[in-house]
Amino acid sequence: MPHRVVVRLAPLLALLVLVAACGGSSQAAPTRAEFIRKGDVVCAEIQQELGSMRARAEAASRLPQREQLELLKRMWDDQIRIQKRFVDDMKEIGTPAGDDVAQELIDSLEHGVKLAEDVQDGFDDEDAAAIGKALPAYLNFTVVLNGRVADYGFRRCGASA
C-alpha cells in the first residue's frame, strides 16, 4: 500500500479505534416522550420486584424481633440493589437533550440511593437512632421525588405499585 494511502486512511482508522474503545454507542438522546415511555417500562419491572418484597415484609411482622431485624437487613440490601439497577437503567435510557429537569430527576435518583445506604448503615450498625433519622429522610425524599417524577409526565414512575 502506498504511503499516501496509509496517511489518508490514518484519521479514519483512528476514528474506528475510538468508536470501538467507546463501545460504539452513538445513541442519540431520547425525546421527552421516549424518555417517559422507556422509563415507565423500567418502572413497571421494578414495581413487580418490589411487590414481592411487600409480601416478605408482611411475613416478617410475624417473626420474633431478632429475626425481623435480620430479614429487614436482607430486604434493605435487596432494596438498594434494585434501586441501583433502576438508576443504571434510567441512565442508560439517557435524558432528552437540554432537558435540565430530566437530568435533575436522574441526579435525584442517585441521591436517593445515598439516602437508602444511610438507612442500610443504620441497620448494619444496629443503631436505632441512626435508622430513626435516616429512614424518615429517605421516605420524605422519596415521596417528594415521586411527585416530581409524576409531574414530569411519567405514568408508572412515581406512582405506587
Grid cell locating 95: 435524558
* pLDDT at residue number 60: 78
Which residues of the chain are modeled with pLDDT < 70? 1-27, 160-161
* pLDDT at residue number 3: 42
* pLDDT at residue number 20: 39
* pLDDT at residue number 50: 81
Evaluate whether 56 touches 68 at the Cβ level (below 8 Å). Answer: no
Domain ranges across the chain: 30-152
* pLDDT at residue number 27: 65
* pLDDT at residue number 10: 46
Other beta carbons within 10 angstroms of residue 127's beta carbon come to 13
- Cα distances (angstroms) measured from residue 116 to each of 119, 127, 140: 5, 15, 12
The pTM of this model reads 0.77
Give burial (CB, 10 Å; 0-12/13-18/19+) of 44.
Answer: middle
* pLDDT at residue number 49: 83
